[in-house]
Every structure is written in C-alpha cells, then in structure tokens.
C-alpha cells in the first residue's frame, strides 16, 4: 500500500485548536489569495465544488487545488473571463508529537509523557455539503470551468461533487 501523506489529519474527533493567543509558534497561512479572476464580470453560470463527507483539508491541499484550477482557467479562457473564490479558511492548528526512530532514541525522548505536540501546520474543517470552491463563468466557458474544478478535486482528500447552476436550474456533475 502506497504511503498517503496527511491521512492521519483527514478525520477529526477533538475540538478545534484555534485560540491563537495561547499558541506560541503559529504556522502562517500559505494561501496568498482567496479571490481570483474578475469579480465584476457579467456571468450566468455558477459552479460549486462541494464535499460529500466531513473532514479536514490541510492548507497545502487547498493551495494545490487553487493553483491548478487558476492555472487551467487563466490559460484556457483568460484572467478576465472568470471569477473563482476559495470558500474555506484553514483555522485549525495541527499538532504533532515528534518521535525519533533511530538507535538510542529511547534515552532522548519521553514517548507519550507530556505529548501535547508542537504546531506543524493548518487545516480547514469542513462539513458535508459545504462549498469548497466557487467559480463563475459565462455559459460558453462552462466545460472549461468543469474541467478546472475536476482537476482541483483531485488535490482534495475528501470525496467531492461539482454542482452547476445555469439559467436558474441546478445540475450535478460527478467527480472523484
């Protein structure tokens, strides 16, 4: 079985760790932009990437999905012909109890004693049916927007669907 990084962070059963005034070393948010494209355009189609299960999405997955969707849309239809918004924010701070796995490591660490962990990253907690990415385009660029969201869904560790709202009607597209 291949190693899947981040699988230990996908599910959550504890309260979120978000009180930044109590955390000494806060990992920075590495997502530079949440709104991309032209927000003032005249669009008639709205596409949403919606999650089908609750879980956590690490910020590097959100950034990878944002980059691949933005790159595809800007190369195929141009910067001024779409608007994309990332609707989730990585509030939750991930902690890790680092363990050494080498000879003589038993003399240098305490194992599970005082194992609160140090901050290593951030994640966004999402619920079932929550919109992750919203894209607005004109109806002639609908297929390019579907492909961009399909590519973005491959970077998200949860099962997702694409919902299309065009002309007042809603449609569902299958993904991942």
Structure tokens, 146 = 């579907």
pLDDT in tens, 67-126: 999 999 999 999 999 999 999 999 999 988 877 777 665 566 677 777 788 889 999 999
Whether the CB-CB separation of 10 and 157 falls below 8 Å is answered with yes
Give the mean pLDDT of the chain: 87
User: Alpha-carbon distance 108 to 118, whole Å?
Assistant: 17
Q: Which helix (H) or strand (E) holds 107?
A: none
**7-13+30-95+116-166 CATH fold:** Aldehyde Oxidoreductase; domain 3 (3.90.1170)
- Going by C-alpha positions, the residue among 61, 38, 33 that lies closest to residue 49 is 61
Q: How far is C-alpha 123 from the chain's CA centre? A: 8
CA proximity to 81, closest of 132, 32, 149, 140:
140
pTM: 0.85
């Amino acid at each position: 079985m291949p190693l899947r990084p981040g699988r230990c962070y996908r599910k959550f059963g504890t309260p979120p760790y978000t009180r930044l005034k109590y955390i000494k070393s806060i990992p920075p948010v590495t997502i530079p932009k949440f709104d991309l494209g032209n927000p003032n355009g005249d669009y008639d189609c709205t596409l949403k990437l919606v999650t089908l299960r609750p879980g956590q999405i690490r910020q590097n997955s959100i950034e990878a999905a944002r980059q691949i969707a933005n790159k595809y849309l800007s190369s195929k239809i141009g910067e001024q012909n779409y608007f994309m918004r990332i609707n989730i924010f990585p509030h939750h701070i991930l902690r890790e109890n680092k363990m050494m796995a080498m000879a003589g490591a038993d003399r240098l660490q305490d194992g599970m004693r005082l194992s609160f962990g140090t901050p290593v990253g951030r994640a966004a907690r999402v619920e079932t049916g929550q919109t992750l990415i919203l894209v607005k385009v004109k109806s002639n660029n609908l297929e390019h927007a579907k492909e961009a969201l399909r590519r973005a869904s491959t970077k998200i560790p949860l099962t997702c669907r694409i919902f299309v709202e065009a002309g007042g009607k809603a449609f569902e597209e299958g993904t991942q």
